[in-house]
Amino acid sequence: MTAKSPDGKKIFQTSRIYASQATDSRSTQMVLGPENKLGFIRDTSIQPFAPKEDTIEVPLPEDLRDALIEVSLSYRPRPGNVYPIHYVKRKVSLDQ
Amino acid sequence: MQFVYPRSSDTTLTAVLLWIVLILLNGTAACAETLPQASTLDELIAMFDSSGCKECHKEIYEQWEKSHHSRSLMGIDDQALLPSVLKRIAKPGVPLEQRVTRDFPCFKCHFPQAKYGSDEVAREIAVVSLKKDKATLRKLNIGCLVCHGDKALVHGRPEKGVLYGTKDIPDHEGRPVKKSPLLKNSLLCGQCHGLGPVLDSPDMPVQCATLYGSYLHAYIPSGGTKTCQECHMKGGSHYMPPDFNNRDDLSARLRESLPMEVRTLAYTFHPDGGKFFPMVVVKTKITSRAGHRIPDG
């Protein structure tokens, strides 16, 4: 998720990783790739029948009344290999 | 009542005959368990060649040809899977091309017919992989004869010369077809799209696919009722998506499976006495329509 000022300057960025996470069961270091994984230690993947909800608070600079919010969801089976899923762009304003 | 004890010579003869019978029976049992062994890779490829099926099942064959099952030793963008495995199982003093079948835990699912090949076949596969000979690697696949053969039965062994389908077709050209209880059952897929750690090889314990475990322990307990085939073989298609090489198709499939809702709120936050600052709250909600965790394999 990225927040930008009306002139396009990035003012906030954060991300979430939804995935099962494994080590090789010989240390506490997470590993990638099926040939290395052995035992999940954490699972933040998206589960069936269990919506994944997140709330992100974005404090804006004091002089800013408008912002552009971009939310994207993508699938990355391997580092650098990205399959885009969703991209949502919203203009938000504190002025009514 | 009178008991008649056999004479000593009769006893000896009986014992000898009994031993002969036992040895013969034992031999028969051993033969029944012995799998036919291909001594070369070409021989094994020929044993599991499904191209003959194309003649009558053209549409299904063409769907399968585009699927990952038709190139099960190749990953995304046709990357050869085994070179990294070969490096992982390397032993000092043993050339990589001297690997034997049991050194490849991946074969269990990525090339299950390897059990019908000798260690020489495994060595040939290692050489082909190291050379990244994609033309040959493409011939090592999960073809018709794998799922409609060994994988179609878990209760007992498949009959020799028999194919398994969704119904009995005794006069099926080439080989008779018998009804398999599994072909429409998630367990068919679950045999490879697995449960968790695979500890068959002490040199390379792995945790490749865990999808069927997720299906069994997350989807089913939450009330899910669909089978793998209902979502991944719609209309009996053997394309069996997802197809990681078809980027747009995979993105569209994930978009459909994972609807995302975004809500925003902009306001002036007043957390404390004299403090005011502009704030945006972004709420996201991703719902899954899949029968297993995403991502998984």
Phi, psi of B32 (to 5 degrees): -60, -30
Per-residue model confidence (pLDDT) at position B297: 84
A-B CB pairs within 8 A amount to 163
The residue that leads in pLDDT, B58 or B93, is B58
Residue B21: its pLDDT value, please? 46
Q: B1 in contact with A at a CB cutoff of 8 Å?
A: no
Report pLDDT for A35: 84
What is the per-residue pLDDT for B34? Answer: 67
Which ipTM value was assigned to this complex?
0.96
Q: Give the number of other Cβ atoms within 10 Å of residue B266's Cβ.
A: 23
Higher pLDDT pick, B31 / A86: A86
Q: What is the mean pLDDT of residues B164-190?
A: 96
For B:89-148, CB contacts with A below 8 A are 106
Residue B1 banded pLDDT, cuts 50, 70, 90: very low
Q: What is the pLDDT of residue B200?
A: 84
Task: Give the distance from residue B43's alpha carbon to the nearest chain A alpha carbon, in angstroms.
Answer: 28
Dihedral angle of Cα A54, B262, A46, B290, to the nearest 10 degrees:
160
Rounded distance, CA A62 to CA A12, Å?
14
Does residue A86 surpass a pLDDT of 70? yes
C-alpha to C-alpha distances, B172 to A11, B56, B176, nearest whole angstrom: 67, 11, 5
The mean pLDDT of chain A is 96
Interface check B275 vs A, CB under 8 A: no
Residue B25 has pLDDT above 80, yes or no: no
Residue B24 is predicted with a pLDDT of 44
Residues in chain B: 297
Q: How far apart are alpha carbons A19 and A29 in whole angstroms?
A: 16
Shortest distance between the Cα of A43 and any Cα of chain B, in A, equals 10
- Say how far apart CA A62 and CA B220 lie, in whole Å: 50
Chain A contact for B231 (CB, 8 A cutoff): no
Could you tell me the pLDDT band of residue B260, with boundaries at 50, 70 and 90?
Answer: very high
- What local confidence, expressed as pLDDT, does residue B184 receive? 96
Q: Residue B108 and residue B225: Cα distance in Å, rounded?
A: 28
pLDDT at B14 over 70: no
